Copies of this chain bind each other. A is one copy, B any other.
């Protein structure tokens, strides 16, 4: 521990107490590495404030002592965004004790949740009031509200409800100078200059600490229907999506995958089988949901998919006959990443291009990649309606794992990212920049990064907030 860190902890101990300061290395260790074990950091202590006032006190003292802080919620970042630097220069500021759902307002359709509330718990709290928080993702058992806001998280329901930016009505935060941004009252109109709440959404903790958020709720699910459709190509998938969206606002998920990804998932999961009897080059999983008990989403899907089959837009389709069958469909989708990983080393890319450009991009980018890196194999699956796919490039058979990651992965990634930029897309659709994509962002968008750095430096002149993430500061 540096002298400054020792002094900071001595200053804070009377306020935070024993529960608020963790220095036992065994207790710290799980939080020093990201969950995919890609980034190993080190922090001499975890500060765990119980409320906003304690966060404010920590920030003021950290500024005074010049000690950097790494905010951390569920530690489920995909880009090393919550992992401390390896040199031990920063302390972790954990939001997990600030875990109260302060309010569920079913009439006003809002929730106020503290930063440390785990997404699954927020789902439960909303359901207990007959409401739903309509964002979910694989890490729902770990990801926290503060991290979801700070990374503008996405997931499988963005198609209908948007990302966290669309679901976050107000933000409460402590800014680097120790002042409170109290934006929880969620005014429907408020034009007092730059929208600081919007600035904090997706800022990855580099501009201060989000302590709570006002979130949008929707009525609880009254009925849902899950369908599996076989298709000729991604263009047919987009055509089908446009048809469905023109006819109904119930479509929440529209997940596309190639036959090979489905085959990998079927092979990976014991007892699993493809939902459709025949072979199709592409597949989509569709979920339609309503909060109105008078509406029948399965009947709606049956009619619309029947028309799509008759018109040749879809090749085959089945609607899950039971909740168990629907869950089996989803299990296939959620197993795609694990199944592909089991096939060997691969490099993944969380990318987006404009929705209309995605069908072509999926096919052409994979072909370009295969051609440029002989022996490797590229494919993508994901959220077609958001223009967002997870684009994987698998190493050539028998490639040494370490060699692939050390020598080839970065070259492949730069190639993929160049394709994405040429298509007017983004190298980070859902996961943020963190430390993993920081230098790639600077390479591809130097002017953008200069603007980000100017803002960062203006608000955090000493570079104490999540150092090394998003933008490199002097």
Residue ranges of A at the interface with B (Cβ–Cβ < 8 Å): 107-108, 151-152, 154, 158, 163, 165, 175, 177, 179-181, 185-196, 198-199, 201-204, 207, 242, 352-356, 383, 385-388, 424-433, 441, 445, 447-452, 454-455, 457-459, 470-471
Contacts and interface: CB of A to CB of B under 8 A. Distances in A.
Contacts of A454: 458-459
Nearest to A165: B195
A425 B356 CA distance: 41
Nearest to A182: B424
A78 B427 CA distance: 41
Contacts of A192: 426-428, 433, 441, 445, 448
B179 A447 contact: yes
Contacts of A158: 188-189
Nearest to A383: B189
Given A107-B242, A158-B188, A188-B388, A193 B431 contact: no
Nearest to A153: B191
Nearest to A193: B452
Contacts of A190: 352, 426, 428-429
A387 B451 contact: no
Contact of A459 (B207, B425, B428, B455): B455
A433 B352 contact: no
Contacts of A431: 191
Nearest to A219: B246
Contacts of A427: 192
Nearest to A202: B191
Interface centre among A179, A195, A459 (most CB of B within 10 A): A195
Contact of A198 (B198, B354, B448): B198
Interface centre among A152, A190, A428 (most CB of B within 10 A): A190
Nearest to A163: B189
Given A187-B387, A190-B428, A195-B198, 12 more contacts: A177-B451, A179-B450, A186-B354, A188-B386, A189-B426, A190-B426, A193-B203, A193-B204, A193-B471, A455-B458, A457-B458, A458-B458
Nearest to A162: B188
Contacts of A447: 177, 179-180
Contacts of A430: 189, 191
Nearest to A425: B187
A185 B424 contact: yes
Contacts of A107: 242
A386 B189 contact: yes
A459 B452 CA distance: 10
Given A158-B189, A191-B151, A191-B432, A451 B196 contact: yes
A175 B451 contact: yes
A281 B388 CA distance: 53
A459 B385 CA distance: 35
Contacts of A355: 108, 188
A19 to B, nearest CB: 30
Contacts of A191: 151-152, 202, 426, 428-433
A89 B188 CA distance: 37
A73 B448 CA distance: 26
A210 to B, nearest CB: 14
A23 to B, nearest CB: 33
B387 A189 contact: yes
Nearest to A79: B191
